[in-house]
Structure 1
Amino acid sequence: MTTGVPEGDSVSLGKLKQMMADFAKERDWDQYHTPRNLLLAMVGEVGELSEIFQWKGEVKRGVPDWKEEEKIHLGEELSDVLLYLVRLSDICGVDLGKAALRKVELNAIKYPAKASKEVTNKENEIENSSTANNGTIEEN
């Protein structure tokens, strides 16, 4: 199957949105693509994604200890979630890219870098203090 995207190029949300709309239309699935149905299908895919990690314990970034087949399966399940999310946003009339950028901006206001670093440093101080006191916290 060809995607129409040259190897190594990025794929835009707009391209995915169009591909998913075409895919549904060609199969006469638009009638089933209601917000509720798409959301429930996406939640099912999130469940399948979580099953991949269920018994793995903590996983290192880049999943270096995973077999190639496991990495491929991970990519497939992540893709299922993304594709349902893109389709859901399209059906709901939400520009997912713009909404995501807006959310990043809102998060930057809500969680300023300096304040977040201060909280992390404070948590580390408490953890180090707790460890130094054999896990007990002294009260002042």
Structure 2
Amino acid sequence: MPSDASPSGDPAPTSLQQLALRLQDFAQQRDWGQLHSPKNLASALIVEAGELLEHFQWLTEEQSRNLPADKKQAVAHEMADVLLYLVQMATALDVDLIEAANAKMEINGGKYPVGQEQRKKER
């Protein structure tokens, strides 16, 4: 199956909005809606983030930057799990993730202006 199609044969989502709709449909077909409270979705997101972290446990900085192909694919799947739960949580709370991310970047820009970077101390 081409990577631009879903398992159902429909075109794969190319935006967060399309992904959110596909996730809603996926959950509805399985009658999972009653399980997808913000609390449960946040918990599931953290579990998946922990599974993502497991792939890097005990690696050196260099190893973490140069993952073998099979490990990189496994990491990509865990990253996708985190994204999927985050998108579902945003839907449950009616949060526009792009708008929220842009607003947060503005806040961070004020907190951490250019020219005031913290430099790693040489040892």
Which TM class, normalised by the smaller chain length? 0.7 to 0.9
Q: 1:103 to 1:60 in 2, by over 3 A?
A: farther
Per the alignment, residue 105 of structure 1 pairs with 106
Per the alignment, residue 38 of structure 1 pairs with 41
Per the alignment, residue 15 of structure 1 pairs with 18
Per the alignment, residue 95 of structure 2 pairs with 94
CA distance in structure 1 between the partners assigned to 2:62 and 2:92 by the alignment: 34
Please list the CA deviations of residues 11-50 of structure 1 after superposition, one character each: whole Å capped at 9, or x if unmatched: 2111111111111111111111001111111111011011
User: What is the CA distance between 1:79 and its match in structure 2?
Assistant: 0.3
Q: Indicate the SS of the match to 1:115.
A: coil
**Which among 15, 18, 24 is matched to residue 27 of structure 2?**
24
User: What is the CA distance between 1:67 and its match in structure 2?
Assistant: 2.1
- Give me the CA root mean square deviation: 1.9
**Which among 49, 54, 57 is matched to residue 54 of structure 1?**
57
Query: Is the radius of gyration larger for structure 1 or structure 2?
Result: 1
Gaps of 5+ in 2: none
- 1:120-131 alignment, distance < 5 Å: 120=119, 124=121, 127=122, 131=123
The letter of the residue matching 1:115 is Q
Normalising by structure 1, what TM-score? 0.75
Percent of residue pairs identical: 40
User: What is the CA distance between 1:60 and its match in structure 2?
Assistant: 5.8
Gaps of 5+ in 1: 132-140
Q: Indicate the SS of the match to 2:115.
A: helix
User: What is the CA distance between 1:115 and its match in structure 2?
Assistant: 1.9
The letter of the residue matching 1:46 is A
The letter of the residue matching 2:28 is K
Normalising by structure 2, what TM-score? 0.84
